[in-house]
Copies of this chain bind each other. A is one copy, B any other.
Amino acid sequence: MGDTRTIAIDGMGGDFAPQAVVDGLATFARERPGTRFILFGDAAALKVLLDQHPDVRERTEIRHCERAVAMDDKPAQAVRQGRGTSMWDAIQAVKAEEAVAAVSAGNTGALMAMSKLILRMVPGAHRPALVGSWPTANGVSAVLDLGADIAADPGQLIEFAIMGVAFAHAVHHKPDPVVGLLNIGSEDLKGHEAIREAARLMRRSNLGFRFHGFVEGNDISAGTVDVVVTDGFTGNIALKTAEGAARMISDVLRAELNSSIASRLGALVAMPALKRMRERLDPRRVNGAVFLGLNGVVVKSHGGADGLGISRAISVAADMGDSRYRSELETNLSHLARIMETQAPEPQSEEAAK
């Protein structure tokens, strides 16, 4: 791996664009000197910001775009009027193979819809899934779908598992990730039929990954498995519920530590420990969700990310771009298609046997 690659970046996406985007680009560029960038957006504004980072300037090509997608644009509207926006052009650069991946902190729905339209699905994948990195007691896990779609049938859940394993290989550098299906109990009798059927298929077939079985909500943060598979409705609720609980706890901690002179003093003495805790739990560290299943890599940064957060999302794009993700996905999805054919419902098998 020669550490050379080009990444396309939507310079206008996110709450703090373009400043945070350029800061993130510069931070990442210094960590990985072999990377080149194509930065899409308002050329004049981007040039002023980029000129503050002369060491990065020469590795970055600015391409002017007249327009940008607003954070509150409706996805359908954003797609119809998408041509010429910084988001559209960044994805288009992946399609044209000018860049190995695109990164945007912009409107999630618009990014998803544009990515599907421009890049199309990988052969064998039926729906994209949004995967994210979740901090756990022993490191990090991949959780998907975080909200690309609201439902998933058994075959799609297995596709998500295959995609999540490829992501865990590429971004978490785990050689042999273990997959779990999110459910409300560990017994086979519980949960929706789609989940139970997916579990039966994963137990019965060799799909090229280790299947743990069902996991419950508390297993996500415990790090019981490396890849947590669920439908996009449940995954989105789980992610936002955990974020909300974490914010509440850290607010209570801050308020109580500020509540008296003694506790402020104690917090001061324990500051290095509290700082390490904050760093371990810092959501910016795991920023960068990926739309999986497309003919090309698109990374979604949190809209509120600052420069550090954006740099992590770019790092996810680089890891995905460097990996065997695409060929792994195609191989395993075509293997899955063959397995699903032999698992066809009884009447069809009888027909075929005649």
Residues of A within 8 A of B (CB): 135-137, 147, 150-151, 182, 184, 190-192, 216-222, 230, 232-234, 236-253, 256-257, 259-260, 262-263, 265-274, 276-277, 280-281
- Across the interface, which residues of B come within 8 angstroms of A262, CB to CB? 269-270, 272-273
In the complex, how many angstroms separate the beta carbon of A283 from the nearest chain B beta carbon? 12
- Across the interface, which residues of B come within 8 angstroms of A277, CB to CB? 252-253, 256
In the complex, how many angstroms separate the beta carbon of A96 from the nearest chain B beta carbon? 32
Within the oligomer, what is the number of copies of this chain? 2
Q: State the CA gap A273–B239 with chains docked (Å).
A: 29
Known contacts A238-B238, A256-B273; 8 further A-B pairs (Cβ under 8 A): A137-B248, A150-B190, A217-B240, A221-B245, A234-B237, A257-B274, A265-B269, A266-B268
Shortest Cβ-Cβ A-B pairs, 9 listed: A266-B270, A217-B240, A266-B269, A218-B244, A263-B273, A217-B241, A221-B244, A242-B245, A256-B273
Q: State the CA gap A298–B248 with chains docked (Å).
A: 30
Query: Is A271 in contact with B266, judged by CB distance below 8 angstroms?
Result: yes
Mind listing 10 A-B residue pairs with CB under 8 Å? A192-B233, A216-B240, A217-B241, A217-B243, A234-B234, A234-B237, A259-B276, A262-B269, A263-B272, A270-B270
Query: Is B191 in contact with A217, judged by CB distance below 8 angstroms?
Result: no
Query: Is B270 in contact with A248, judged by CB distance below 8 angstroms?
Result: no
- Across the interface, which residues of B come within 8 angstroms of A237, CB to CB? 182, 184, 216-217, 230, 234, 237-238
Q: State the CA gap A233–B259 with chains docked (Å).
A: 39
- Across the interface, which residues of B come within 8 angstroms of A137, CB to CB? 248, 251-252
Known: A191-B150, A234-B234, A241-B220. A260 touches B272 (CB 8 A): yes
Q: State the CA gap A270–B271 with chains docked (Å).
A: 11
- Across the interface, which residues of B come within 8 angstroms of A192, CB to CB? 150-151, 233
Query: Is B256 in contact with A263, judged by CB distance below 8 angstroms?
Result: no
- Across the interface, which residues of B come within 8 angstroms of A268, CB to CB? 266
- Across the interface, which residues of B come within 8 angstroms of A247, CB to CB? 218, 221-222
Q: State the CA gap A41–B263 with chains docked (Å).
A: 47
In the complex, how many angstroms separate the beta carbon of A230 from the nearest chain B beta carbon? 8
Among residues of B, the one whose C-beta sits closest to the C-beta of A237 is B217
Q: State the CA gap A267–B269 with chains docked (Å).
A: 8
In the complex, how many angstroms separate the beta carbon of A112 from the nearest chain B beta carbon? 12
In the complex, how many angstroms separate the beta carbon of A197 from the nearest chain B beta carbon? 14
Query: Is B263 in contact with A270, judged by CB distance below 8 angstroms?
Result: yes
- Across the interface, which residues of B come within 8 angstroms of A230, CB to CB? 237
Known: A137-B251, A222-B248, A246-B249. A217 touches B238 (CB 8 A): yes
In the complex, how many angstroms separate the beta carbon of A242 from the nearest chain B beta carbon? 4
Q: State the CA gap A269–B271 with chains docked (Å).
A: 12
Q: State the CA gap A11–B276 with chains docked (Å).
A: 45
In the complex, how many angstroms separate the beta carbon of A276 from the nearest chain B beta carbon? 5
Query: Is B248 in contact with A245, judged by CB distance below 8 angstroms?
Result: no
- Across the interface, which residues of B come within 8 angstroms of A257, CB to CB? 270, 273-274
Contact check: which of B135, B221, B236 meets A217 at CB < 8 Å?
Answer: B236
Q: State the CA gap A273–B269 with chains docked (Å).
A: 14
Q: State the CA gap A240–B262 with chains docked (Å).
A: 35
Known: A217-B236, A237-B217, A266-B267. A259 touches B273 (CB 8 A): yes
